[in-house]
Amino acid sequence: MQASRRTGVRRSAAALLALAVGAAGATVALPGVAAQEVGAEQVVNGDFSAGMAPWFSTPDPGAVTDGVLCADVPGGLANPWDAIVGQNDIELEAGVTYRLSFDASSTPAANVRALVGLAVAPFDAYFADSPVVGPTMQTYTYTFTQPASTPDGQVAFQLGGGSTAHRVCLDNVSLRGGAEPEPYVPDTGPRVRVNQVGYLPHGPKGATLVTEATARVRWALEDGRGRVVARGRTRPAGVDPTSGLNVHTIDFGDVERPGRGYTLVADGETSHPFDIAADAYERLRVDALSVYYPQRSGTPIDGAIVGDEAYSRAAGHVGVAPNRGDLDVGCQPPEVSLPVYGEPWTCDYTLDVVGGWYDAGDHGKYVVNGGISVAQLMSTWERNRTARSADHGALGDRTLRVPERGNRVPDVLDEARWELEWMLTMQVPEGRPLAGMVHHKVHDNAWTGLPLDPAADPMVRELHRPSTAATLNLAAVAAQGARVFRAYDRAFADRLLAAARTAWTAAGANPPLYAPVEDGASGGGPYDDDDVTDETYWAAAELYVTTGERAFRDAVLASPLHRADVFDVDGFDWGHVAALGRLDLATLPNALPAGDRQRVRRSVADAADALLELQAQQPWGQPYAPADNAWAWGSTSQILNNLVVIATAHDLTGDRDYRDAVVEGMDFLLGRNALNISYVTGYGDVFSQNQHSRMYAAQLNAESPHPPDGFVAGGPNSGIQDPVAQALLSDCPATPQFCYIDDIESWSTNEITINWNAALAWVASYVADQDTGR
């Protein structure tokens, strides 16, 4: 998994807009910056004794009285940086620990976002915090270790974004190097780590104990009234390389009595409470699929449908000022776009690309990430209709929180249609160069800050050049959509199949056009990919399953991937999609030669066997352990997609070992891990809730909501590409489970994305089906 798209903030010369978090890629130390005196004050006139100079502010300069700067901030400003006080030309040195302190008050209480970062592109934020400041002047003090040297630093206070007017006062602003580092130590809670949501009565039940003991220790399972219902001894597992912790495992799978509020006690520690319940995953099945509605672009979001009015918002990117909108979007101009087949590229047309889902924490929309996402949502539906263990009524009409409830179409397909309709708009029109190919993405022409409501985004939107990968993604998902919508809307199904055929033909008629990594410098991530053999195989498979036509069967059989092992033990993702084709060829009716069909099905079981062997070696229960101990960006989705493979093997064979492995694999995501945190919002006693997002930013603005329940965070990432993670987690790559922080600024460990949640939705639906123990 690669960096998909990172955030930053524009800063116009006139308005001197504020810093916000990150930009694409890791920060690089600048040579030639002289080391500064330890303890030297970096802020000029921090006590405002000389008035405002050299501070800048917008829109109201405020007034300095008796050495205190006070500014009246109007209510209703769309963004925090719409009211700002800051100072530029701050010299920062890599490796130095700085102490930032200031006095602040606000009447009435309001968020004040304090930042130290880069005043020029790419506008990295090296430190940020957003305390709720009250009417009494208080001192706020922070330390952070600077990841990069620069003479272009900035100290800034973002004061806007609240609904009510308030008066903010600042004094004694100080930034000094040479502070004593304060190591970041996560609160990992009790040393007994469990699935904080719960366990199925008829299924595996495992836990992990962090302990210095090398010999077995006693454990006890207590019910909600504190009565011991089971006892046993742990199994020592030694030092786990993914966490650096000495651990034991606990197996209490023999306990099948349902109940609420169970706890495990071992080595003097008591776990977080959990349930044993047949319905442990029913809510997650619904929530993981329902988060797509508030991600919709181009339509107002009704908070009552989501479940909380805090999620209500105006339609995003529909051309209502200040929003430029997606109604009439042109291509990148040739001076900034990348060449096509060695020649400068732009286009002389515009497209209406309203709709679709916002991809992740930003407002971009990307065909290749949308492709795997909508495919897995439709596959969740297809599995629900065909698998032996599925609850066939669980995903029909009126089962999710979507506005289309009651239209006699399964709600999951209503949601999938929202993305499919948008993907169709990204196809190059007939009669134009590269007709039938698909534009890779559409997003702002520069990074925006957070929080930022989609309707308040003022940036110009641009279509980026077509790519073969995007074209084949459309071919694959439109073919899949044609078969799943056939029973509900024949005209739409026909339209999808026609688009799939057009895309397939266009991809074959043009030389491969790869999305380059260079197309991620501003406003959106690159989603670069220089190998489309997997997309070709996937598209051929979907077209063949849908149509049964010989030409597509021949394309499947001719693919070099058809007889290859397409299941990497590190998981599949948007850039490695051959597994999607293989899974559908294995599970859905088709006329592959009998021996070949059997080999295809066997390949899924063989991949699952390898994952079970790997999982058996992990004391935390996850089927994921990269050989180099380097956990991927979005590691939670890699784990989830491995669980998809194992679950499919269960569907194909009925072997309970596969079923139990999937159920146990969910333990890691829901709390049985080194950090003792559930990576799914709203699930467990301690869960991720400050995921990187412009729309859900409660950490930065108390008036903004947290992400809706059912969103999965990216999770541990050995690369720690963002400045916040680099500053706080610099020692974590040796123990990658600790390469995560629940901070909205940590986009490389804590973002939410539509593709990661698609994998969660598929697995949650599968596990919810396993309540009977089949």
Q: Are 299 and 317 in contact (CB under 8 A)?
A: no
Point out the catalytic residue in the list 248, 272, 440, 692.
Answer: 692
Q: Are 678 and 194 in contact (CB under 8 A)?
A: no
Residue appearing with tokens 């990841």: 147
Active-site residue identified among 742, 743, 745, 771:
742
Q: How far apart are CA 258 and CA 260, in angstroms?
A: 7
Distance (Å, whole) CA 757 – CA 165? 37
- Is 362 among the catalytic positions? yes
**Does the annotation count 692 as an active-site position?**
yes
Residue carrying the six token digits 């569907």:
651
Report in angstroms the alpha-carbon separations of 505 from 308, 438, 481, 511, 529.
45, 12, 18, 12, 20
Please, how many CA atoms are within 13 Å of residue 471, restricted to the half-sphere of its CB?
A: 29
Measured from the Cβ of residue 12, the count of other Cβ atoms closer than 10 Å reads 8
Residue 504 burial (10 A CB sphere; 0-12, 13-18, 19+): buried
For 273-276, which contacts have Cβ atoms below 8 Å and span 24 or more sequence positions? 273/196, 273/224, 273/685, 274/194, 274/195, 274/196, 274/197, 274/198, 274/199, 275/197, 275/198, 275/199, 276/198, 276/199, 276/200, 276/201, 276/205
242, 210 Cβ separation under 8 angstroms: no
Task: Indicate the helix (H) or strand (E) that contains 551.
Answer: helix 550-558
- How far, in Å, CA of 367 to CA of 424, rounded? 10
DSSP 212: S
Quote the CA–CA distance of 467 and 445 in Å, as a whole number: 19
d(CA 17, CA 86): 9
Interior/surface letters 640-667, b for 16+ CB within 10 angstroms, e for the rest: bbbbbbbbbbbbbbeeeebbbbbbbbbb
Catalytic residue among 362, 660, 664, 667: 362
CA 738/CA 729 separation, integer angstroms? 8
Q: Active site residue: 519, 751, 769, 771, which one?
A: 751
CA dist 648 → 386, 481, 604 (Å)? 11, 20, 7
Catalytic residue IDs = 362, 692, 742, 751
